Structure 1
């Protein structure tokens, strides 16, 4: 699968090196353009729709995170390319797909491109198709603690679970429950029943997913109509649930 890209770096030499590496070692990548600042990138994005942005963090008159705030509904993946490792947490919060340190290791660049390519392949396969998860339905029962005992829920009735500090909100086909257990607890309990963590805050019943939408990390629409964000780090695992 071919992948289109834009390179953003204020250092011309860094752009040349990355472009040459992509040309030599990642032949499926087509570079649509290059930019040296936030504003130049914004202008490029008005006329191009890349699959991935190779994005340096520090630039004159604004940085990478300033840029991303100006493109809230992005459909491209982000590969940060920087000489500084202390931006890793910020990159994760910005839902970056990959994080490369300068000087760029060719093996890591190839891995980053392969990762983006895999995500794009899965997204393309899912667009305009009916989502059919590998699991047909969630079966069984789960007990949730109550002040005066416990309650038994049909797992198939659960749409998704949402983290709420040390509590978890369980959203059902009808109504919801607040339980004094962490989302991690329910992830471990329900992963074998067709549930998957799509975000630090969400655990979804895959059989209730009716649509996938591209975006920062993407989002899923459930049978109830509820739309939930998918983080970039969880996107690949989610897409692998569908054929």
Structure 2
């Protein structure tokens, strides 16, 4: 693939101009085909140009960037979401391993995202990130349902209600899943997933353990104590984390 055919959709003229200038100056692998100010123009440009990449503002008048994607029968392009805020949107984007940029735009982050997408599109034109994201967005008033985990071989899409607990392993994290014997080893830190997974269900009980409270079957008292998970694994609760753990069960 020589160049990425791209369009951008943003209701703010200044934002469109800034991104267009950055792409022209710093991303030579991108060929910008259209600049659109609303969902309707964006849908028309996608149909006309069949882009490889869409830069999509999340918050727009009369709808969101997610609304645009849901109107498509098939998403066969990669998406970089652009947003100034919206905590739920950021969590959903992280859960799906989707690309996003925060306003005001950082040039280095833009270049890095474009380079990764350019390499990925050489290998495949599937957009699993967006498929997982849209599934999670449908449950906006609930916790997100799935998380995309990059592995050494590719990626795994895991329902979060199947995660029993996560275990720190240096700069990696082991995911222990229901009905799966061998844990998934993911090359991101436990802190990364602590910030990503829903705080109303996942509690850090130790520097090495992040648990899904739905799978706790027993707590044994002690200085910190320890929990027994549904898979019969016993995990230590550090004294420092004990109040947070007990609060999750309203036992403090």
Alignment TM-score, normalising by the size of structure 1: 0.52
For the aligned residue pairs, the C-alpha RMSD in angstroms reads 3.2
Aligned to 1:68: 69
Distance in 2, matches of 1:52 and 1:181, equals 34
Indicate the structure whose relative CO is greater, using CA pairs within 8 Å and at least 6 residues apart: 1
Counterparts of 1:34-113 in structure 2, within 5 Å, are 34-84=35-85, 86=87, 87-92=89-94, 95=96, 97-113=98-114
Shift of 1:97: 3.2
* 1:128-160 superposed Cα distances (whole Å, 9 cap, x missing partner): xxxxxxxxxxxxxxxxxxxxxxxxxxxxxxxx9
Aligned to 2:116: 115
Distance in 1, matches of 2:163 and 2:20, equals 48
Distance in 1, matches of 2:177 and 2:10, equals 45
Report if the CA contact (8 A) 1:9-1:37 is conserved: yes
Q: 1:186 aligns with which of 175, 182, 186?
A: 182
Counterparts of 1:189-204 in structure 2, within 5 Å, are none
Are 2:11 and 1:15 equivalent residues in the alignment?
no
SS in 2 for 1:78: strand
Distance in 2, matches of 1:164 and 1:98, equals 20
Shift of 1:34: 1.2
Distance in 1, matches of 2:33 and 2:179, equals 42
Distance change in 2, residues 1:97/1:183 (3 Å) = farther
Alignment TM-score, normalising by the size of structure 2: 0.50
Aligned to 1:28: 29
Distance change in 2, residues 1:121/1:58 (3 Å) = same
**Number of positions where the alignment pairs a residue of Structure 1 with one of Structure 2:** 144
Shift of 1:84: 1.1
Report if the CA contact (8 A) 1:51-1:76 is conserved: yes
Shift of 1:116: 0.6
Distance change in 2, residues 1:187/1:24 (3 Å) = same
SS in 2 for 1:186: coil
